[in-house]
Chains A and B, each alone.
Chain A
Amino acid sequence: MEPAIRLTHVSRRFRSGDGELTVLDDVSFDVPRGELVAIVGPSGSGKSTLLALLAGLDRPSAGEVWVDGEPLHTRGEDALARWRRGALGFVFQSFQLLDHLTARENVRFPLELLDHPEAGPRTDRLLDAVGLAGRGHHYPRQLSGGEQQRVAVARAFAAAPRVLLADEPTGNLDGPTGARVLATLDTLRAESSATVVLVTHDAAIAARADRRITLRDGRVVSDERTGASPAR
């Protein structure tokens, strides 16, 4: 079966002052469908750049990025935006809820973009699943950090994406709150069978993944099964 994600010889270089800075250097790996992969590595190792490439928010300087069968490296910005609507979910470290929308409207937003026929009931189900059924009418600023992140998780799964990317999803949260967000993520992932790529600093979180890819100076230095759970 075709993998959910395939990177072949991907490099990303930035101009920096007079010279060039190589942030990713000849990275190649596949992620089979349904797998939970943790990307770890020290600051500046290229984790966020890798995530940006997987989301089609950035383009590789060389190599190919295939996500869900889509050659992202060949697509234009608008085509990528439309592709993201149905194919991709994203959870950010700083939640990134739309602050002029209520929690419910935030979750519903991706469904509106797809003109989803069941937008209302699906939004209700997701809010219920993340334990915020009663707080849908609150604006982001009226919610705690953990609650905001659970709304963000619900939003990321709203359009039933095949691939979900998460950038330090618990980075801004304390231990217990972070654990609750991770539990929510697990629940929804189990229901959706989405492929998940998760960037984290936290070894404990990485340990929950099926597989751990370690980056250093833009290169993959290790790619190992964690043994936490067998690949599906």
Chain B
Amino acid sequence: MSLRLFLLLLRQELRGASARALPFLGALSVGVAAVVLVAGLGDSVSRAIRLEARPLLGADVAARSYEGLPAAFDEVPARFPGVERVDAVDLLTMVAVPTAPGALPGRSVMAELKAVGVGWPFYGAPTLVPDVPLDRLLGLDGVVVEPVLLERLDLGVGDTVRVGGADFVVRGVVEKEPGRLPSGLVAGPRVFVGLEGLERAGIGAQGARITRRALFRAPDEATAGALAAALTEVAGAAARVETWSDAQPAAQRSIERTTQWLGLVALLSLLVGGVGVAQATRAWMARRLDAIAVSRTLGLTSAEIARVALAQTALLALAGSLTGVALGTGALTLAPLLLEGLLPAEAVVPWQPAAAARGLALGVGMALLFAARPLAQAAAVPPLRVLRRDVEPLPEPPLRAGLAALGLGAGVYGLAWVQARDPLIAGAFVGGLGVVAGLGAAGAASVARAFGAVAPRVRGWWLRHGLASLGRPGAGLVAAVVSLGIGVVVVLTTVLVEGRLYAQIAQEFPTSAPSAFLLDVQPDQRAGVEALLGEAGATRTRGAPMVTARLLAVDGVGVDVLAAARPEGERWQLTREQRLSYMAELPAGNTVVEGAPFSASVPAEVSVEQSYAEGLGVRLGSVVRFDVQGVPVDLTVTSIRTVSWESFDLNFFVIAEPGVLEAAPQTVLLTTQIAAEREASVQDTLAARFPNVTLVSVRNALAQARGLLEKLGWGIRAVGGFTALAGVAILAAGVAADASRRGRQVALLKTLGTTRMGVVGLFAVEYALVGLLAGSLGAVGALGLAWTLVTQLMRLAWRTDAAVVVGAVVGTALICAVVGVLANLRALVVRPAEVLRGE
């Protein structure tokens, strides 16, 4: 075939394509939009992190420590000419409005304090008002704060605030700080103070919530690398050294994982779109069989016909994918509104060529993959059909059908690989999907058969007719039900899991649980703090000593040896700072599962929580050596216990018997229940009398977690919604493809005396049944998946939210009924005579 002829045929074919274009484009573009949206969001966040990594770290190399930077750090930089250093200290503390002695305490708020040396940071300076270098604003007695702090304390620039034991003048506000997380994710507003100021406040000396950082600027990459290596060597377990390029690897990883997961959900909507494409193509080709047979009689070969049809499909796929890219880009521009507080608005770049290209490639690939088989089948229609109308395309030999199915599976696997960027995850995805789709199809097929069988016995002719229509062979029920059902699974699972999480942290919060934690109470302050709480009407105040320590060895094997044997992501369990307590009796809610705690015969006993023991690789009889602020302490494990964390009570992974840790530097951790309306005044009084004590409100933390959960839930539901939408588009496509048969059916029904409303009712019942079936199958799948996630993965209690499940099933039925009737409008308004004359 010459190119000229090919293009002519293609042009002529496209003229007849408008009828199939709509369902085809609809199904495909929705899936592509989901892919582009997810890829765009993931890229936006990753790029923001990459771009801000250096400002985030504020340096080329940084070291941080919770207990103090090693003294050796003072000598190392001298070995590298051109390296500069500046220090910073982060801690949570209360900031209050100072009042005269004896007066009522002023208002207070928990803040994220950052004390910085002169020259901080090397990269990514914060935006300040007035626009004066930070160190000049701070001086000895100044602070620079986030505007929200001034709002909460009802102060302005020039007013005085109390931090710890000293007063400071607010010299300016910080409008933007590079790398700082949005307000929804932080414990309190930012307060900057100088390092000398921190010393004056007297709160940087001890306490569990202090991070000390040393930031270094190097003249070049090579020096930075060598400096980082040298620092790591001298730091050992005492400090963690990072270069700007590996700053935030955890955040990056979690974003990658989220993007990967959402990407697969998006791929699911694209797959459902692919099923729609196959259906639209099959329906279109069914109407073209005569024309194809005529073309073959006139001298076109089946290969030539297939080539033209494939080219036409590719063009449609391109158009559908471009529409999807436009939709996805549009949705991306709205993402900051939806995810406000979770994602900085400036991090979202709506137009992303890489995301668009990904959507385009996956869209066209998916469409061709799913259209290829119906196209090939139709192109092979025997030309004999021009003489005998009943000649249909030859059935595929089983071997070829099997190969085609295998090819489709391999293609989908390839696309999943591209989308997940991981062959194993792609395999699990395709395998799982195959099982779900297979079960769904088998379920739908058997229900359809049952419908057909019971139909004649059902009273009420609408229902009888609806059942019979679905039971009719070749009704296309299975594809619609499976696609819709998968959409229902995604959306309903999200809602169910989210609902359980929400219930867990909000409604099912035990009434006996503490409403606040008090951190960094010094042992000599304990009585005073408890008295203060008692005066405020607080109840159930409990306390336990807390000693910070670092693991040195387990059964004589050094922690660095143990850590080196583990994957990088699991080393933190060994190297992080550990919080130990000591007491004679284990707290309520602790159950000893192995051994027995605290006998007289063994010196220095310790009881370890079960999962924690597994994490450390510790058994009964193991000797664990801790570095308790410079002093090595050996403890023998004599009991392993489980803890019911749901109580939110004071609990520790590691509890030593009394008589071992008393002499170590320590703080007291208090929990208490305070009425919500008194919490603020307790906080203010604490800030005035015990400025080093930090009150963490469980209510606020829960509210924050709820907000975060809601926003994440919205994101997932939005992407899952695309899948459901693609399912609806498929239903509409199927309905439209069936239009001519419907037209005849309507004409006959009208001729036999059915009113138009009667026909509408008939269709509504039929499509509602489709929705009911898809919704029910989807609900079963969602319940199974959500139950697994909630009880097995999150280890939370399960409760079936019947209203949500029933709502999803009924909702699906209603949507299907409406879509079914709307898609059939044309068949409804045609006059019977027009159709019957054409018979």
Kindly name the residue among A78, A97, A98, A110 whose own CB sees the greatest number of chain B CB atoms within 10 A: A98
Given contacts A57-B382, A96-B386, A99-B291, whether A81 and B5 have CB atoms under 8 Å apart is no
Chain B contacts with A in 268-300, Cβ cutoff 8 A:
290-291, 293-300
Contact A92 B387 (CB under 8 A): yes
Question: B12 in the interface, Cβ–Cβ < 8 Å?
Answer: yes
Q: A96 vs B387: C-alpha distance in the bound complex, in angstroms?
A: 10
Query: Chain B: which residue is nearest A48 at the CB level?
Result: B387
Chain B contacts with A in 568-600, Cβ cutoff 8 A:
none
Question: B457 in the interface, Cβ–Cβ < 8 Å?
Answer: no
Instruction: Say which residue of B12, B300, B386 sits within 8 Å of A113 (CB atoms).
Output: B300
Instruction: Say which residue of A77, A97, A99, A115 sits within 8 Å of B2 (CB atoms).
Output: A115
Question: A112 in the interface, Cβ–Cβ < 8 Å?
Answer: yes
Query: Chain A: which residue is nearest B305 at the CB level?
Result: A81
B299 cross-chain contacts in A, Cβ below 8 A: 81-86, 110, 113
Contact with B along A89-133 (1 / 0, CB 8 A): 010100011111100010001101101000000000000000000
A112 cross-chain contacts in B, Cβ below 8 A: 5, 8
Q: A48 vs B293: C-alpha distance in the bound complex, in angstroms?
A: 16
Contact B290 A96 (CB under 8 A): yes
Query: Chain B: which residue is nearest A109 at the CB level?
Result: B298
Kindly name the residue among B4, B290, B297 whose own CB sees the greatest number of chain A CB atoms within 10 A: B297
- Report A's interface with B, CB cutoff 8 A: 48, 51-52, 55, 57-58, 77-78, 81-86, 90, 92, 96-101, 105, 109-110, 112-113, 115, 155, 167
Query: Chain B: which residue is nearest A114 at the CB level?
Result: B299
Q: A1 vs B2: C-alpha distance in the bound complex, in angstroms?
A: 35
Question: B475 in the interface, Cβ–Cβ < 8 Å?
Answer: no
In the assembled complex, the CB of A222 is this many whole angstroms from the nearest CB of chain B, namely 24
Chain B contacts with A in 1-17, Cβ cutoff 8 A:
2, 4-5, 8, 12-13, 15-16
Query: Chain B: which residue is nearest A55 at the CB level?
Result: B297
Q: A112 vs B11: C-alpha distance in the bound complex, in angstroms?
A: 13
Q: A101 vs B294: C-alpha distance in the bound complex, in angstroms?
A: 13
In the assembled complex, the CB of A90 is this many whole angstroms from the nearest CB of chain B, namely 6
Contact B295 A98 (CB under 8 A): yes
A155 cross-chain contacts in B, Cβ below 8 A: 298
A101 cross-chain contacts in B, Cβ below 8 A: 12
Q: A169 vs B19: C-alpha distance in the bound complex, in angstroms?
A: 31
B388 cross-chain contacts in A, Cβ below 8 A: 48
Query: Chain A: which residue is nearest B9 at the CB level?
Result: A112
Question: B232 in the interface, Cβ–Cβ < 8 Å?
Answer: no
In the assembled complex, the CB of A119 is this many whole angstroms from the nearest CB of chain B, namely 11
Q: A110 vs B295: C-alpha distance in the bound complex, in angstroms?
A: 9
Contact A77 B12 (CB under 8 A): no
Contact with A along B666-698 (1 / 0, CB 8 A): 000000000000000000000000000000000
A96 cross-chain contacts in B, Cβ below 8 A: 290, 293-294, 297, 386
Instruction: Say which residue of B5, B293, B295 sits within 8 Å of A115 (CB atoms).
Output: B5
Query: Chain B: which residue is nearest A49 at the CB level?
Result: B387
What are the nearest 7 A-B pairs in CB distance?
A100-B16, A85-B299, A78-B301, A84-B299, A81-B301, A96-B294, A57-B384
Q: A102 vs B303: C-alpha distance in the bound complex, in angstroms?
A: 24
In the assembled complex, the CB of B630 is this many whole angstroms from the nearest CB of chain A, namely 88
B291 cross-chain contacts in A, Cβ below 8 A: 98-100
21 contacts between A and B (CB under 8 A): A52-B387, A55-B297, A57-B386, A57-B387, A58-B384, A81-B296, A81-B299, A81-B300, A81-B301, A81-B383, A82-B301, A85-B298, A85-B299, A90-B386, A96-B293, A96-B294, A98-B291, A100-B291, A101-B12, A105-B12, A113-B300
In the assembled complex, the CB of B11 is this many whole angstroms from the nearest CB of chain A, namely 10
Contact A98 B303 (CB under 8 A): no
- Report B's interface with A, CB cutoff 8 A: 2, 4-5, 8, 12-13, 15-16, 290-291, 293-303, 382-384, 386-388
Contact A51 B387 (CB under 8 A): yes
A167 cross-chain contacts in B, Cβ below 8 A: 387
A86 cross-chain contacts in B, Cβ below 8 A: 299
Q: A77 vs B302: C-alpha distance in the bound complex, in angstroms?
A: 9
Kindly name the residue among B294, B300, B387 whose own CB sees the greatest number of chain A CB atoms within 10 A: B387
In the assembled complex, the CB of B362 is this many whole angstroms from the nearest CB of chain A, namely 30
Query: Chain A: which residue is nearest B14 at the CB level?
Result: A100
Q: A86 vs B298: C-alpha distance in the bound complex, in angstroms?
A: 9
Kindly name the residue among A84, A92, A113 whose own CB sees the greatest number of chain B CB atoms within 10 A: A113
B12 cross-chain contacts in A, Cβ below 8 A: 100-101, 105
A115 cross-chain contacts in B, Cβ below 8 A: 2, 4-5
Contact A84 B15 (CB under 8 A): no
Contact B15 A113 (CB under 8 A): no
Contact B297 A100 (CB under 8 A): no
In the assembled complex, the CB of A180 is this many whole angstroms from the nearest CB of chain B, namely 22
Q: A101 vs B11: C-alpha distance in the bound complex, in angstroms?
A: 11
Contact A84 B303 (CB under 8 A): no
Q: A109 vs B291: C-alpha distance in the bound complex, in angstroms?
A: 12
Query: Chain A: which residue is nearest B15 at the CB level?
Result: A100
In the assembled complex, the CB of B308 is this many whole angstroms from the nearest CB of chain A, namely 12
A85 cross-chain contacts in B, Cβ below 8 A: 298-299
A113 cross-chain contacts in B, Cβ below 8 A: 5, 298-300
Q: A12 vs B173: C-alpha distance in the bound complex, in angstroms?
A: 96
A51 cross-chain contacts in B, Cβ below 8 A: 387
In the assembled complex, the CB of A2 is this many whole angstroms from the nearest CB of chain B, namely 23
Q: A98 vs B291: C-alpha distance in the bound complex, in angstroms?
A: 6
A92 cross-chain contacts in B, Cβ below 8 A: 386-387
Q: A152 vs B2: C-alpha distance in the bound complex, in angstroms?
A: 25
Q: A115 vs B3: C-alpha distance in the bound complex, in angstroms?
A: 11
Query: Chain A: which residue is nearest B293 at the CB level?
Result: A96
Contact A84 B298 (CB under 8 A): yes
Given contacts A52-B384, A115-B2, whether A78 and B303 have CB atoms under 8 Å apart is yes
In the assembled complex, the CB of A213 is this many whole angstroms from the nearest CB of chain B, namely 18
Query: Chain A: which residue is nearest B298 at the CB level?
Result: A110
Query: Chain B: which residue is nearest A158 at the CB level?
Result: B298
B295 cross-chain contacts in A, Cβ below 8 A: 98
Contact A84 B16 (CB under 8 A): no
Q: A155 vs B293: C-alpha distance in the bound complex, in angstroms?
A: 16
Contact A57 B300 (CB under 8 A): no
Instruction: Say which residue of B13, B290, B302, B383 sits within 8 Å of A57 (CB atoms).
Output: B383
In the assembled complex, the CB of B17 is this many whole angstroms from the nearest CB of chain A, namely 9
In the assembled complex, the CB of A40 is this many whole angstroms from the nearest CB of chain B, namely 17
A90 cross-chain contacts in B, Cβ below 8 A: 297-298, 386
A52 cross-chain contacts in B, Cβ below 8 A: 384, 387
B297 cross-chain contacts in A, Cβ below 8 A: 55, 57, 84, 90, 96
B4 cross-chain contacts in A, Cβ below 8 A: 115
Query: Chain A: which residue is nearest B304 at the CB level?
Result: A81
Q: A85 vs B297: C-alpha distance in the bound complex, in angstroms?
A: 8
Kindly name the residue among A58, A81, A96, A112 whose own CB sees the greatest number of chain B CB atoms within 10 A: A81
Contact A77 B301 (CB under 8 A): yes
A81 cross-chain contacts in B, Cβ below 8 A: 296, 299-302, 383
